[in-house]
Amino acid sequence: MAEIGNTRQTIRLAITVIAYPVISSALGEVVCVAGIRTDSLMQPEWVRLFPFQRRNLPKDRQIHKWDELEISVAKSTHDSRPESWAPNLDAFKKIGSLTPDHGWRMRRPVVEPLIVDTMAQVERAQATGRTSLAAVRSGEVLDLLITSRSAKELAAAATKAQAAAAQGDLFSLDETAQDPLEQIPIDVHYLVRYDDEPEPRRLKIIDHELGQAYRRWRHMYADVNAAIRTKWLDELCAPKLNTVFFVGNQKRFPDQFMVLGVYYPPK
């Protein structure tokens, strides 16, 4: 039951988004974790849990996409976006998982009431109501663009990651040193066309799964970029699927949306 004002409350949500970690100057290494409330399906709504220090959680408390959580939250003091809540990472429990064992039957009623058709609709919702999370149809996916990040950019990011690791987690009593966040040396974008726009648009992918795939597959494939292209373009955007992008914006750049995850049930 939701409480009034900024008092803490307990909610249930299904995790649909785990982005690749970033370094915050104020908070250290943080992750965008978001999902859809499962205790309010008559009026489904997005929830962003921020700040979330995922790597600091014990192994038995790690969260994954499609886990269903019961978690204590309060309105975030770091993030004014309407979907953002500050989680109490000492007070959550996993109560289930929306597995694909029965096709996508468990996931459809959670996600599909929130789907919109185009990115222009998402941007209008942001302009009028500050919406910062959405599920949008993929449109016509024209290509997957993979580019190398510059050496200067990677070096700057690595320096920030080393500083954050040396500082440690300000929110944890665990004094165990953590390895610096590894930088992924590529940027990946979808090139998509929507019927209500004259030109295609590029949507950057910052999904944690893509970063982890790069880290694993570079040791498995001679051409890791080709393997990523096969997965995120040929497989996840195959014609037999109803592909939907989970998108979100950055607090500093509210009009810039990125792909945080892909939902790909069969047609």
pLDDT digits (tens, 9 = 90+) for 201-235: 999 999 999 999 999 999 999 999 999 999 999 99
Give the list of residues 6+ apart from residue 218 with CB closer than 8 angstroms, or none: 224
Q: Hey, what CATH class is 9-97 in?
A: mainly beta
Q: Six-digit token pair at 145?
A: 């663009």
Residue 101, CB half-sphere, CA atoms under 13 Å: how many?
3
Q: How many helices (H) and strands (E) does the chain have?
A: 5, 14
What is the predicted pLDDT for the residue at 6?
60
Under 8 Å between Cβ of 39 and 58: no
CA 261 → CA 19, 93, 190, 209, distances in Å? 8, 23, 12, 8
Q: Six-digit token pair at 76?
A: 């975030």
Distance from C-alpha of 43 to C-alpha of 254, rounded to nearest angstrom: 24
Length of the chain equals 267
Say yes or no to pLDDT of 4 above 90. Answer: no
Under 8 Å between Cβ of 190 and 140: no
Q: Six-digit token pair at 66?
A: 């499609």
Pick the CATH number of 114-149+184-263 from 2.60.120, 2.40.50, 1.10.1060, 2.40.128: 2.40.50
For range 242-248, the mean pLDDT: 97
Say yes or no to pLDDT of 120 above 70. Answer: yes
Task: State if pTM tops 0.95.
Answer: no
> Please, where in the chain does CATH 2.40.50 lie?
9-97, 114-149+184-263
Q: Is 203 exposed, middle or buried (0-12, 13-18, 19+ CB in 10 A)?
A: buried
Under 8 Å between Cβ of 46 and 34: yes
Summarised one tens digit per residue, pLDDT across range 150-167 is: 999 888 877 877 776 766
% of the chain with per-residue pLDDT over 70? 88
Q: Give me the helices (H) in the chain, please.
A: 108-111, 119-129, 151-167, 208-217, 224-229
CA quadruple 156, 213, 90, 131: dihedral positive or negative? positive
Radius of gyration (Cα) for the chain, nearest Å? 18
Say yes or no to pLDDT of 116 above 90. Answer: yes
Under 8 Å between Cβ of 158 and 144: no
At residue 230's C-alpha, the angle toward residues 228 and 233, to 5°, is: 90
